[in-house]
Structure 1
Amino acid sequence: MSIGFGIFLFAVGAIMAFAVNVSLDWIELSTIGYILMAAGAVTVIIGIALMARRRSAVSTEHRRTDPVSGESVTRRESDVI
């Protein structure tokens, strides 16, 4: 969701910075467009970092031998972070 929202912010900012030729006395639309483009880029970078972090996994394997019966028991755990 954050990657899509970042792309949306970047697109709206690009439209405001480059395509809108409206002149207002109290606000500069091209500056607001550049700010939105920067916010969109930061949002996409944060979204990619969070997605990469979410996909990492930790796998643990324990092997034990029962001294009475001689059976080997293997226990595997996988945690997704």
Structure 2
Amino acid sequence: MTIAGGIILIMLGAILTWAVEFDLAGLDINVIGVVLMIGGLAGLLFGLYRMHVTRRVIQQPIPEDPHARRTTTVYEERRRIDEPPL
């Protein structure tokens, strides 16, 4: 679920909980709205967790010219900590 999907579920659940005055036999619209809000919150938190990127900058000397003071900068990005390095 994406972040936008989680926000949409939260909004839909809030509308069903607080703005709808409709009754169906055997269904409680308020409870359905609360369930949608909780599901949307869980999806939003999961989407934010998946978006977390770990960045590490490694500077290495250039091996061709040992007397030069230049360095090579390597950027490594991983989506999760448990993923192997690229």
TM normalised by structure 1 equals 0.74
Offset of residue 12 of structure 1: 0.4
CA radius of gyration, larger in: 1
* Unpaired stretches in structure 1, ≥5 consecutive residues: none
Residue in structure 2 matching 1:61, options 54, 59, 65: 59
Give 1:1-81 correspondences, 5 Å limit.
Answer: 2-51=2-51, 53-54=52-53, 56-63=54-61, 70-72=66-68, 74-81=71-78
Moved over 3 A (4+): 69-75
Cα distance in 2 for partners of 1:70, 1:62 equals: 11
CA RMSD of aligned residues (A): 2.3
Number of residue-to-residue matches in the alignment: 77
Cα distance in 2 for partners of 1:13, 1:65 equals: 59
Identity %: 25
* Higher relative helix content: 1
* Unpaired stretches in structure 2, ≥5 consecutive residues: 79-86
